């Protein structure tokens, strides 16, 4: 077992069929999660974080498709499994928690029944036993008086309790991997703190691997071991958490960290990343961040930068870290001067 | 200079209205059944408008030597019990049915939309205890019974049948529009409008109404379909169109007696009601898709 | 719960009160003198006047209305003008007929709609979906009388498999009663099933998009279990509400079907009574229908809260 | 409840019967199922105003006097009658040994009771207009009764052959009051069992019947307002006998080997009331033009498939009062000339008709015919209730309405054409006509009366306040195992003599 | 801008006294008068000075938005005074209110929901300009396009529909709408919460810039403490419909006094703090506003709660210069 990572995603390409055109959204995502490790995926809205997790679960929408790459779980490629085989893995070996705890629970069944359902499904035990297990799980996630709460309907619980129920459900079969897609975004800060605490302690007790998706860098700094920064369907930085915050490499990551107002510092004006994410149908051929990058050179627009290891356990996908960077810069200067003489300035777009 | 950029800008960017329209058309044309429905609907409208040009025979001309003739080259759909050309009557019948559908729904809209808008926007006693309870009461009547009673009160005739059907349809529109308005009233864009100091009528007419138009349109097309059936039903019971105007419902009622000897008398008007209502329903579905930008 | 029932009762009274006003005024502006209809062409003006007096038709409308309401509150709907039978007696004769027809129609409707709705929603965009959609739309589009006539023509006249029309009470001859009801029930049932299929399809499609369905798959459930265990019940909730609201339409839609198939139900009663100006019967029957519709919607609401635990039967306005 | 049992059995039988080819299997069948064109509203003859009621009365009640197939008077409850010379006093001898279904004896007192009931102003009987000439009813003995009229009225005896002559049980009336209509008690061959409105009326043989008891044990009467449904049910064997068929089915039923179709000229007439007080019918030329423009022959052929004969007067061919003159063919040219002569241009009017397929067809045909002579006729469908109302208030130009007919010609003419008579909707007033109608009532010699009615017919044809269109023929369709049916021109279903073979 | 918009810094532009907003629940229908209320805002008092930014923080459902709406009279307050430039606007007639809305504006959280999807941005902005007769008709277009430029959009955006904008751009349109009438006070109700961090920074900078340019006053409602800190001069903390702490931002962020504020601050996961500090964890959930705890509303979750807290409602009092707290323990 230990020769494999718990989860290894290699060169994952995912896209959607729209009428006649096929739009690729994830464009070569690579990462791996070791046993007992927490990986955080961060990035702006729409960059493909959820899509990555859904691909792992095999729950892509009907129009979506993995076109390239592998998802190795315990060494087995999940992309080759049938729905039936996947259903044996889901909820049992890999579990998932979603962002919206209200809508992710079926409103017409009691929470106990919904937890017991997973247990019964994968462990083939009696209804009564499954119900007992549900009570245990609720106790584990810290819901008071779980014996009564199993008979509650989701709407009778608060947001934080619902998210605990989701966690209880996800953990009911001792999964090896837990995927959490923005599990605390819908919650208040004080409740978020409770949930993050809970997840941290459970991770240690269960010895699971966690893939946590978020756009809140604060949360990342709280829980992550490793961080994957995504931008427009591509990995731009992949690093150890400390190294990332102390020494962000990619211009996007840098911009991202800087643009958050800090509690400890005072600034009149926040540093910003100008512009916005390009449309998936209209991506630059090269580095996708090039349109907003202060350092961008013509090459950046045309050639895809490789994922370069800049430090140990720290990779970034940017031409700046390539040996050719100086060369590229020169070329760019030459180009810019030519352009200036042509005297057409592109309107600054915000 | 300002001028120049403006002109420039106008040329450069595609007109967003056109773009939106294109997207809507795209969604509409994606629904093949809706396209088919739309095609037939327009065909029927065309038929109704140009009936006098299309028909091979006078729809009320009787020929006692050609009674209940089965379909032939001269009479495509055969002739009826007093020797009239059924094809011609069916074509003219489209006028009656489409009128019935459009006008009765028009009446329902004309009454229902303002009441629904005002009732939903202002709420309060009138809304809660008068208008809503009244629509509740109207809706607890079987609609056909209500239409029948109203038509009996007003007297037979196409106009009266349309008014009766219009009245019966009205509470549905009041309800729908009121519900929509209530939903939109709480939306932030309406609050923002209020916060910008806009008058109520402006908010209602310029902001809320266009946003509720999609469900109203959909309901209206479906209501047209059911109004056509209702008119046919009333005509079937003798309270609709007056002879000799060819109404499909009345033709069906006449033809019912000759099912075993001359089934075509009833069959063709029946098929046409069916096709018309089906086309409008399909078309309405298409419009629903068209107005729903969430659909890809 | 208690407050819910109280509130609904209150509402029901208000609605019935309004219904009574509407129907009373409607009936009273109907042209045509019931006294004249009772007495016929042979009547003399004196007689007509006398009869109008006897029937209370010469009182001011308010007084007539008041008298009628007071009687109704005492359970007395008056007597038919036409044949002097108590309206309650007539209603008691008609209700079982309509009930049988309604139940049977719903039975057929559900029998068709649930599988059709599930198939077309879970196989969206396939030929199954298209044919089910087309069926549903056709069912909605075909006028009930045309369908009825067509049935008679095909099954009774041409094939001779079924008796063309008529009615035998269930208690008298169970099998024959059902046989006679088959065509009318199918006529109504097909239309109803068409509506239900459409509603079920769209509500199921919406439910299938929802997050908890994704949760279901994430648990490792197979499609079948997800659809039946999680989606169907949620999808049925709006369908049930809407079919409750459609109840009035179906009671009314039965009017024509009953006429075509000579089923002596409430619908036919109302139509003939309107045409013969039998005011007490029209008023009584319509009041009963409205009452039934309101009552059914009341039960639908209760059912709703059973199906959907989020709905509490509280006094709140919708 | 014993009768209910009997019923169950009969239902089972009718089942079997529809399985066997529906020919003769009279042994097991003991219920005669009759299909009527409408649900009879009233089972009380003194309350009744609908024609269809009379179909059931013939089974439940006896009349004082009957008419036979040749329209001659025959004794029924009255074995003999005597008219005084001044035509005012009628003395009836009554049948002895007759009992009502509730056991009450039928006698002179009962007759007196019945007439007083009809005359009671509080009771508001539609019969009152037929018997209002009665001044007093005197009981002369147990079985002899004397009726005194205020003025001579030749048609009086024929009035007694209809609802006014039907005797109801005094005990039952006193006991039940208004509820009598729901539990009718007469002396007829069948007694009432149960009724489900608009569904069925069940009767069973009255074991104490004074004449020979009917051969069939039960009668079930079921309304089928839709003519097609009615015929389909007869063909398929659900029904044994129909009171009315759609004219378009005549040929089909004639050809059907399992069905007997009886045909008879009826007594009524059908046509159009023209309101002579409003434009354009104040103008006699226009009325005459309409009279000439309509091709009655085409109507009877196309709409009625020969089931009606063109009409020129109020008296059907079966009546002795039918005029001898030929009906002129439609004459478009003459009609055009009359319109021209009238001096009116753009002549137009609205015809109100009942919403029935046949009415519509006929109206549309007439519309076409009139448009040829330059008269525009709009058609407006009005239901019967509204129509009666509008007739009585005079809110109409022309109304398509006929009369079911009475045995005596007076019943077909007086009420419609006498000045201010109750049914004189046309507001026609002609002293000459009034004189003839009055005189015909007092004379009792048929030949003399016939001459008067002939004259009347000619005047009415010429004045044309009413456009006579056609006389319907009456059809009774029955399964051919139904025998013994006595087809009388009054169009009633007489169940007494019917038997299965 | 108008001359009157340049007054001395210290004037109270807006003052709220004892503001309450209760929502009846259960419909309070004809047949059943229900006397339970959601006390969404319960006796809140504060002031805002001309030219300053007051931040309001608090957890979801604590009544922040309701307060904002009640100030604007979009929802009539149940009780209390709202003094704007010394006038009690809660007593205004509809016509006066419409006039007032030239002076107070609001920007909502949801940049999509707060724009009418069926109107072009230009039509929407022009409408407001026209209704309030801000500029003559002939200058309308130039005025609106300038406005668009001010908020960092292109003049060409005049002809676009909301759905053709990105989230950040839409929020800019909302800001333009608020600015169109040249208001004195803008209430930003979670104006940046729906935006991605990178876009959020852009919008925050814009707000700052506009404030300086037009001498605006903001009430900035948010649940994001770092954002509030960044933009505000003073900060108020709300809990269950009540203001529990109010101070200038240095005071409150350095030395939070109310236990709730302390817990709130310690719960924020902050990027810049690398050593995990000891958290002050709160137990349980936020109580339902339908059923508020007696005494101090926070006592059910307060780690320091005493008997007194359960019984007595703490007074909102000044503890230091300009630092107000509602807690028995301070
Ligand atoms: N069913 C779908 N059909 C077509 N495109 C889709 C579909 N679902 C997602 N996308 C597209 O895929 C891209 C990535 O979506 P994804 O949900 O993975 O983003 P995300 O990073 O999770 O964003 P967020 O932070 O908002 O959750 C988006 O641009 C979205 O438009
Ligand atoms: N129209 C209303 N009717 C009834 N209750 C309401 C209404 N509006 C708000 N509330 C209730 O008032 C309380 C405060 O709501 P409010 O929207 O002001 O909270 P908030 O602090 O803005 O929360 P969030 O951060 O989630 O926006 C909530 O409990 C809410 O349910
Ligand atoms: Mg996501
Ligand atoms: Mg809020
Ligand atoms: Ni021809």
pTM: 0.80
The pLDDT of residue D16 is above 70? no
The span from the CA of D191 to the CA of B197, in Å, is 82
**B10 band by pLDDT with thresholds 50, 70 and 90:** very low
pLDDT in tens, B129-143: 788 888 888 888 888
* Nearest-Cα residue of chain B relative to residue E126: B196
Q: Which two tokens stand for residue D192?
A: 């009432």
Q: Is the minimum CB–CB distance between B61 and chain D shorter than 8 Å?
A: yes
The better pLDDT of the pair C46, A74 is held by: A74
Mean pLDDT of C263-288: 84
* Nearest-Cα residue of chain C relative to residue B268: C146
Is A133 within the bounds of a domain?
Answer: yes
Q: Ligand 1 centroid vs C21 CA: distance in angstroms? A: 57
Among D305, D355, D388, D395, most B C-beta atoms within 10 A, so best to mutate, is: D355
* Contact between chains at C40 and D383 (C-beta distance less than 8 A): no
Conformational region of residue D337, where left means phi above 0, alpha means psi within -120 to 50, and beta covers everything else: alpha
Shared-domain flag, residues A132 and A281: no
Shared-domain flag, residues A166 and A82: yes
Which atom number of ligand 2 is nearest to the Cα of residue E58?
A: 21
Identify all chain C residues contacting D122, using CB atoms and an 8 Å cutoff: 50, 54
> What's the confidence (pLDDT) of residue E277?
62
Shared-domain flag, residues A154 and A58: yes
> What's the confidence (pLDDT) of residue A341?
60
Is B16 within the bounds of a domain?
Answer: no
Q: Where are the alpha helices (DSSP H) in chain A?
A: 49-57, 83-89, 111-123, 127-140, 146-149, 159-171, 189-206, 217-223, 241-246, 251-258, 298-302, 325-342
Mean pLDDT of D81-104: 91
In percent, the amount of chain D with pLDDT more than 90 equals: 32
Choosing from E22, E41, E62 the residue with most ligand 2 atoms within 8 A of its CB, the one to mutate for a pocket test is E62
Specify which residues D472 forms β-bridges with.
D308
Is A169 within the bounds of a domain?
Answer: yes
Q: Which two tokens stand for residue C79?
A: 């007597």
The pLDDT of residue D463 is above 60? yes
Shared-domain flag, residues A92 and A162: yes
* Contact between chains at B191 and E156 (C-beta distance less than 8 A): no
Q: Which two tokens stand for residue C318?
A: 């919708």
The 3 state secondary structure assigned to D105-139 is: ECCHHHHHHHHHHHHCCCCCCCCHHHHCCEEEEEE
Q: Which two tokens stand for residue A131?
A: 């119900």
Which atom number of ligand 2 is nearest to the Cα of residue B186?
A: 1
Identify all chain A residues contacting E285, using CB atoms and an 8 Å cutoff: 158, 160-161, 191
Mean pLDDT of A331-348: 62
Is B5 within the bounds of a domain?
Answer: no
Domain CATH for A38: 3.40.50.300
> What's the confidence (pLDDT) of residue E6?
44
Which residues form the domain of A128?
5-231
The span from the CA of C102 to the CA of C236, in Å, is 20
Q: Which two tokens stand for residue C313?
A: 């039967």
Q: Where are the alpha helices (DSSP H) in chain B?
A: 2-12, 16-30, 32-49, 51-54, 86-122, 124-125, 132-139, 143-154, 158-185, 188-195, 200-202, 209-236, 248-256, 264-291
The span from the CA of E163 to the CA of D436, in Å, is 91
Backbone angles phi, psi at D214, to 5 degrees: -65, 155
Is there contact between D and E if contact means ≥3 C-beta pairs under 8 Å?
no
Nearest C-alpha of chain B: how many angstroms from C202? 12
In percent, the amount of chain D with pLDDT more than 70 equals: 94
Specify which residues D202 forms β-bridges with.
D194, D220
Which residues form the domain of B254?
29-60+73-290
Reference E227, options E255, E179, E190; nearest CA is E190
User: What Å distances lie between residue B276 and B33, C150, D208, E197, CA to CA?
Assistant: 14, 18, 63, 54
The pLDDT of residue A58 is above 60? yes
Q: Ligand 1 centroid vs A46 CA: distance in angstroms? A: 5
> What's the confidence (pLDDT) of residue E276?
57
> What's the confidence (pLDDT) of residue B71?
82
User: For chain A, how many structural domains are there in total?
Assistant: 2
The pLDDT of residue A6 is above 50? yes
> What's the confidence (pLDDT) of residue E4?
43
The span from the CA of A145 to the CA of C54, in Å, is 73
Reference B220, options B248, B249, B180; nearest CA is B180
Of A68-72, C8-12, E78-82, where does mean pLDDT reach its minimum?
C8-12
Backbone angles phi, psi at A28, to 5 degrees: 80, 70
The pLDDT of residue C301 is above 60? yes
Shared-domain flag, residues A224 and A332: no
The span from the CA of D382 to the CA of D397, in Å, is 13
* Contact between chains at E159 and B20 (C-beta distance less than 8 A): no
The span from the CA of E304 to the CA of E301, in Å, is 9
User: For chain B, how many structural domains are there in total?
Assistant: 1
* Contact between chains at C317 and E27 (C-beta distance less than 8 A): yes
The span from the CA of D98 to the CA of E57, in Å, is 103
Select the residue of A107, A109, A122 nearest C220 (Cβ to Cβ).
A122
Q: Ligand 3 centroid vs A214 CA: distance in angstroms? A: 8
> What's the confidence (pLDDT) of residue C317?
37
> What's the confidence (pLDDT) of residue B240?
80
CB C207 within 8 A of CB C231: yes
The span from the CA of D176 to the CA of D359, in Å, is 40
Q: Which residues of chain E have pLDDT under 50?
A: 1-8, 27-33
Q: Which fold has domain E2-103+185-193+216-325?
A: Rossmann fold (3.40.50)
> What's the confidence (pLDDT) of residue B103?
93
Identify all chain C residues contacting E26, using CB atoms and an 8 Å cutoff: 314-316
Domain CATH for B102: 1.10.3720.10
Is B282 within the bounds of a domain?
Answer: yes
> What's the confidence (pLDDT) of residue D220?
93
Choosing from A13, A15, A16, A55 the residue with most ligand 1 atoms within 8 A of its CB, the one to mutate for a pocket test is A16
The span from the CA of C23 to the CA of C34, in Å, is 16
The span from the CA of C316 to the CA of C98, in Å, is 33
Q: Where are the domains of chain E?
A: 2-103+185-193+216-325
pLDDT in tens, B15-74: 556 766 777 787 778 777 888 888 988 998 988 888 888 888 888 877 877 788 788 888
Nearest CA owner, ligand 1 atom 4: A16
Nearest C-alpha of chain D: how many angstroms from C89? 9
The pLDDT of residue D28 is above 80? no
**A211 band by pLDDT with thresholds 50, 70 and 90:** very high
Put the strands of the sheet holding A209-213 in their side by side order: A94-97, A177-181, A209-213, A38-43, A226-231, A234-240, A314-317, A307-311
Q: Which helix (H) or strand (E) holds D193?
A: strand D190-196
**D80 band by pLDDT with thresholds 50, 70 and 90:** very high
Is A242 within the bounds of a domain?
Answer: no
pLDDT in tens, D248-263: 888 888 988 999 999 8
User: What Å distances lie between residue D215 and D22, D100, D160, D205, D207, CA to CA?
Assistant: 20, 19, 27, 9, 11
Residues 6+ apart with CB under 8 A from E159: B10, B13, B15, B16, E120, E121, E122
3-class DSSP assignment, residue D242: strand
CB B166 within 8 A of CB B108: yes
**B254 band by pLDDT with thresholds 50, 70 and 90:** confident
The last residue of one of the domains, among A207, A231, A255, is A231
Q: Which two tokens stand for residue A286?
A: 């090269």
The last residue of one of the domains, among A231, A255, A282, is A231
CB E83 within 8 A of CB E14: yes
> What's the confidence (pLDDT) of residue C252?
66
Q: Ligand 3 centroid vs A58 CA: distance in angstroms? A: 15
Choosing from E40, E194, E244 the residue with most ligand 2 atoms within 8 A of its CB, the one to mutate for a pocket test is E40
- What residues of chain B, 201 to 230, have a C-beta less than 8 Å from chain E? 202, 206-207, 210-211, 213
Shared-domain flag, residues A137 and A62: yes
The span from the CA of B83 to the CA of A97, in Å, is 74
Q: Which two tokens stand for residue B150?
A: 């109203």
Backbone angles phi, psi at C69, to 5 degrees: -60, -45
Is B14 within the bounds of a domain?
Answer: no
The span from the CA of B289 to the CA of A103, in Å, is 25
Q: Which residue has the tokens 């512009």?
A: A275
Shared-domain flag, residues A290 and A188: no
Shared-domain flag, residues A55 and A145: yes
Task: Calculate ∠ Cα B62-B66-B71, nearest 5°.
Answer: 110
The span from the CA of E166 to the CA of A276, in Å, is 8
> What's the confidence (pLDDT) of residue B67?
80
Shared-domain flag, residues A171 and A34: yes
**A228 band by pLDDT with thresholds 50, 70 and 90:** very high
Q: Where are the alpha helices (DSSP H) in B123-157?
A: 124-125, 132-139, 143-154
The pLDDT of residue A260 is above 50? yes
Mean pLDDT of B78-83: 82
pLDDT in tens, D400-452: 988 888 888 888 888 899 998 878 888 899 999 999 999 888 887 888 889 99
The pLDDT of residue C72 is above 80? yes
Is B35 within the bounds of a domain?
Answer: yes
CB A54 within 8 A of CB C187: no
Nearest C-alpha of chain C: how many angstroms from D58? 18
**C221 band by pLDDT with thresholds 50, 70 and 90:** confident
The last residue of one of the domains, among A209, A231, A253, is A231
Is B66 within the bounds of a domain?
Answer: no
Shared-domain flag, residues A290 and A195: no
pLDDT in tens, B262-284: 888 888 888 888 888 888 888 88
The span from the CA of D178 to the CA of A109, in Å, is 61
Is A170 within the bounds of a domain?
Answer: yes
Among C122, C206, C210, C212, most A C-beta atoms within 10 A, so best to mutate, is: C212
């Amino acid at each position: 077992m230990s020769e494999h990572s718990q989860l290894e995603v290699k060169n994952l390409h995912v896209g959607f069929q729209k009428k006649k055109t096929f739009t690729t959204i994830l464009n070569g995502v690579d990462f791996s999660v070791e046993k007992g490790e927490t990986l955080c995926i961060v990035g702006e809205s729409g960059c493909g974080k959820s899509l990555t997790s859904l691909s792992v679960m095999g729950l892509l929408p009907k129009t979506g498709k993995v076109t390239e790459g592998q998802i190795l779980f315990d060494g087995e490629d999940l992309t080759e499994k049938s729905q039936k085989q996947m259903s044996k893995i889901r909820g049992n070996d890999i579990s998932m928690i979603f962002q919206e705890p209200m809508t992710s629970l079926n409103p017409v069944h009691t929470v106990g029944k919904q937890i017991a359902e997973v247990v019964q499904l994968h462990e083939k035990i009696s209804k009564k036993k499954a119900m007992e297990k549900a009570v245990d799980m609720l106790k584990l996630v810290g819901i008071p008086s779980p014996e009564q709460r199993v008979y509650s309907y989701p709407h009778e619980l608060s947001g934080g309790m619902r998210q605990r129920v989701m966690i209880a459900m996800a953990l009911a079969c001792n999964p090896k991997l837990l995927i959490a897609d923005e599990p605390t975004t819908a919650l208040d800060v004080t409740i978020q703190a409770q949930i993050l605490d809970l997840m941290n302690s459970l991770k240690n007790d269960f010895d699971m691997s966690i893939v946590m998706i978020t756009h809140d860098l604060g949360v990342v700094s709280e829980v992550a071991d490793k961080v994957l920064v995504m931008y427009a369907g591509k990995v731009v930085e992949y690093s150890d958490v400390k190294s990332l915050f102390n020494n962000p490499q990619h211009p996007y990551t840098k911009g991202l960290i800087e643009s958050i107002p800090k509690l400890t510092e005072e600034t009149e004006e926040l540093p910003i990343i100008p512009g916005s994410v390009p449309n998936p149908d209209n991506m630059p051929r090269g580095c996708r961040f090039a349109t907003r990058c202060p350092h961008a050179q013509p090459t950046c627009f045309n050639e895809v930068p490789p994922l370069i290891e800049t430090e140990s356990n720290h990779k970034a996908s940017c031409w700046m870290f390539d040996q050719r960077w100086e060369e590229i810069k020169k070329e760019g200067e030459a180009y810019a001067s030519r352009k200036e003489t042509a005297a057409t300035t592109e309107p600054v777009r915000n | 200079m300002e001028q120049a950029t403006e002109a420039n800008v106008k040329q450069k960017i595609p007109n967003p209205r056109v773009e939106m329209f294109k997207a809507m058309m795209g969604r509409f044309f994606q629904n093949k059944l809706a396209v088919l429905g739309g095609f037939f609907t327009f065909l029927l409208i065309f038929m109704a408008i140009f009936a006098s040009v299309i028909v091979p025979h006078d729809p009320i001309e009787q020929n006692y030597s050609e009674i209940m003739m089965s379909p032939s080259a001269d009479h495509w759909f055969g002739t009826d019990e007093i020797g009239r050309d059924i094809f011609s009557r069916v074509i003219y019948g489209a006028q009656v049915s489409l009128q019935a559908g459009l006008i009765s729904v028009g009446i329902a809209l004309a009454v229902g939309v303002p009441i629904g808008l005002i009732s939903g926007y202002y709420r309060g006693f009138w809304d809660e205890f008068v208008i809503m309870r009244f629509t509740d009461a109207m809706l607890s009547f079987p609609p056909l019974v209500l239409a029948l009673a109203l038509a009996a009160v007003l007297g037979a005739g196409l106009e009266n049948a349309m008014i009766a059907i219009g009245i019966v349809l009205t509470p549905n529109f009041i309800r729908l529009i009121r519900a929509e308005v209530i939903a939109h009233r709480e939306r932030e864009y309406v609050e923002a409008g209020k916060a910008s100091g806009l008058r109520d009528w402006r908010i209602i007419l310029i902001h809320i109404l266009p946003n509720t138009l999609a469900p109203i349109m959909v309901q209206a097309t479906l209501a047209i379909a059911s109004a056509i059936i209702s008119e046919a039903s009333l005509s079937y019971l003798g309270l609709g169109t007056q002879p000799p105007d060819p109404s499909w419902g009345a033709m069906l009622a006449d033809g019912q007696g000759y099912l075993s000897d001359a089934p075509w008398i009833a069959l063709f008007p029946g098929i046409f009601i069916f096709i018309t209502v089906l086309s409008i329903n399909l078309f309405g579905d298409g419009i629903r898709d068209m107005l729903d930008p969430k659909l890809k | 719960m208690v407050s819910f029932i109280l509130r609904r009762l209150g509402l029901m009274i208000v609605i019935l009160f309004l219904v009574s006003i509407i129907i009373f005024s409607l009936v009273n502006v109907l042209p045509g003198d019931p006294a004249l209809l009772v007495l016929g062409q042979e009547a003399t003006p004196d007689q007509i006047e006398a009869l109008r007096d006897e029937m209370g038709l010469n009182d001011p409308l308010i007084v007539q209305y008041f008298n009628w309401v007071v009687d109704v509150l005492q359970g007395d709907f008056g007597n038919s003008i036409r044949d002097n039978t108590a309206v309650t007696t007539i209603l008691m004769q008609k209700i079982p007929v309509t009930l049988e027809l309604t139940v049977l129609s719903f039975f057929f409707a559900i029998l068709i709609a649930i599988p059709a709705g599930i198939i077309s929603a879970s196989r969206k965009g396939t030929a199954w979906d298209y044919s089910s959609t087309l069926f549903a739309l056709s069912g909605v589009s075909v006028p009930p009388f045309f369908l009825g006539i067509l049935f008679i023509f095909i099954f009774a006249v041409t094939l001779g498999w079924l008796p063309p029309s008529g009615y035998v009470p269930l208690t008298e001859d169970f099998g024959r009663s059902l046989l006679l009801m088959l065509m009318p029930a199918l006529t109504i049932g097909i239309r109803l099933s068409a509506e239900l299929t459409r509603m079920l399809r769209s509500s199921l499609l919406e439910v299938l998009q929802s997050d908890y369905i994704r949760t279901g798959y994430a648990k490792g459930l197979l499609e079948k279990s997800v659809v039946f265990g999680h989606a169907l019940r949620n999808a049925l909730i709006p369908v049930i509400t809407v079919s409750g609201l459609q109840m009035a339409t179906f009671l009314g839609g039965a009017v024509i079907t009953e006429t075509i198939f000579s089923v002596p139900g409430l619908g036919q009663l109302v139509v003939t009574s309107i045409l013969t100006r039998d005011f007490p019967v029209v008023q009584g029957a319509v009041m009963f229908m409205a009452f039934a519709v309101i009552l059914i919607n009341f039960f639908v609401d209760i059912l709703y809260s059973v199906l959907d635990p989020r709905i509490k039967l509280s006094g709140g306005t919708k | 409840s014993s009768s209910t049992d009997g019923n169950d059995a009969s239902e089972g039988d009718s089942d079997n019967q529809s399985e066997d080819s529906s020919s003769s299997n009279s042994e097991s069948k003991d219920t005669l199922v009759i299909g009527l064109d409408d649900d009879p509203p009233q089972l009380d003859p003194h309350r009744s105003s609908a024609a269809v009621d009379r179909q059931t009365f013939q089974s439940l009640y006896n009349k004082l006097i009957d008419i036979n197939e040749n329209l001659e008077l025959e004794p029924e409850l009255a074995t003999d009658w005597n008219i005084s010379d001044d035509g005012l006093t009628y003395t009836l001898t009554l049948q002895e040994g007759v009992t009502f279904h509730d056991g009450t004896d039928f006698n002179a007192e009962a007759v007196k009771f019945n007439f007083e009931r009809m005359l009671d102003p509080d009771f508001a009987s539609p019969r009152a207009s037929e018997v209002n000439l009665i001044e007093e009813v005197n009981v002369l003995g147990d079985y002899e009764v004397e009726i005194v009229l205020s003025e001579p009225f030749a048609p009086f005896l024929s009035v007694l052959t209809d609802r006014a002559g039907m005797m109801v049980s005094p005990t039952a009336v006193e006991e039940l009051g208004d509820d009598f209509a729901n539990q009718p008690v007469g002396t007829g061959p069948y007694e009432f069992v149960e009724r489900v409105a608009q569904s069925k009326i069940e009767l069973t043989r009255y074991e104490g019947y004074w004449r020979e008891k009917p051969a069939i044990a039960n009668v079930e009467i079921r309304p089928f307002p839709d003519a097609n449904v009615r015929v389909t049910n007869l063909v398929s064997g659900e029904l044994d006998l129909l009171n009315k068929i759609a004219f378009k089915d005549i040929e089909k039923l004639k050809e059907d080997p399992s069905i007997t179709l009886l045909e008879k000229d009826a007594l009524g007439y059908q046509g159009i009331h023209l309101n002579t007080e409003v434009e354009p019918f104040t103008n006699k030329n226009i009325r005459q033009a309409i009279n000439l423009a309509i091709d009655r022959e085409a109507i009877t052929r196309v709409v009625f498939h020969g089931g009606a004969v063109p009409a020129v007067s109020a008296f059907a061919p079966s009546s002795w009062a039918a005029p001898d003159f030929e009906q002129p063919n439609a004459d478009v040219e003459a009609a055009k000339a009359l319109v021209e002569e009238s001096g009116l241009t753009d002549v137009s009017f609205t015809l109100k008709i009942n919403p029935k397929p046949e009415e519509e067809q006929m109206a549309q045909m007439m519309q076409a015919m009139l448009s040829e002579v330059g008269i525009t006729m709009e058609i407006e469908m009005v239901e019967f209730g509204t129509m009666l109302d509008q007739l009585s208030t005079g809110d109409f130009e022309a109304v398509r309405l006929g009369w079911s007919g009475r045995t005596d010609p007076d019943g077909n003419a007086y009420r419609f054409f006498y000045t201010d008579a109750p049914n004189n909707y046309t507001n026609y007033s002609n002293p000459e006509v009034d004189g003839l109608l009055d005189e015909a009532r007092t004379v009792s010699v048929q030949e003399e009366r016939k001459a008067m009615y002939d004259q009347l017919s000619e005047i009415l044809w010429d004045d044309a306040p009413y456009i006579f269109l056609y006389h319907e023929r009456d059809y009774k369709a029955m399964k051919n195992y139904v025998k013994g049916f006595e087809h009388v021109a009054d169009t009633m279903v007489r169940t007494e003599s019917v038997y299965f073979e | 801008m108008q001359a009157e918009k340049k007054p001395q810094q210290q004037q109270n532009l807006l003052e709220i006294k004892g503001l309450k907003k209760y929502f009846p629940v259960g419909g309070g229908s004809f047949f059943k008068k229900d006397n339970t209320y959601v006390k969404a805002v319960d006796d809140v008092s504060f002031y805002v000075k001309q030219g300053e930014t007051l931040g309001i923080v608090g957890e979801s459902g604590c009544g922040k938005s309701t307060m904002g709406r009640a100030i604007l009279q979009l929802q009539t307050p149940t009780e209390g005074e709202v003094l704007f430039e010394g006038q009690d606007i809660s007593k205004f007639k509809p016509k006066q209110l419409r006039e007032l809305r030239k002076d107070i504006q609001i920007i909502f959280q949801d940049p999509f929901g707060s724009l009418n999807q069926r109107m072009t941005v230009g039509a929407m902005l022009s409408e407001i300009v026209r209704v309030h007769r801000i500029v003559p008709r002939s200058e309308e277009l130039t005025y609106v396009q300038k406005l668009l430029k001010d908020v960092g959009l292109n003049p060409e955006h005049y002809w676009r529909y909301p759905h053709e904008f990105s989230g950040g751009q839409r929020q800019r349109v909302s800001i333009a709408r608020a600015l169109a009438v040249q208001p004195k006070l803008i209430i930003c109700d979670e104006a940046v919460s729906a935006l991605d961090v990178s876009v959020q920074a852009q919008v925050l900078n814009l707000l700052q810039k506009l404030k300086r340019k037009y001498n605006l006053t903001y009430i900035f409602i948010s649940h994001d403490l770092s954002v509030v800190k960044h933009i505000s001069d003073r900060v108020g903390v709300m809990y269950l419909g009540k203001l529990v702490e109010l101070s200038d931002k240095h005071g409150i962020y350095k030395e939070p006094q109310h236990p709730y504020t302390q817990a709130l601050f310690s719960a924020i996961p902050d990027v810049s703090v690398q050593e995990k500090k000891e958290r002050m964890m709160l137990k349980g959930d936020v109580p339902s506003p339908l059923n508020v705890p007696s005494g101090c509303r926070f006592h059910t979750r307060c780690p320091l709660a005493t008997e007194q807290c359960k019984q007595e409602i703490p007074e909102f009092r000044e503890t230091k210069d300009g630092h107000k707290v509602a807690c028995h323990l301070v």
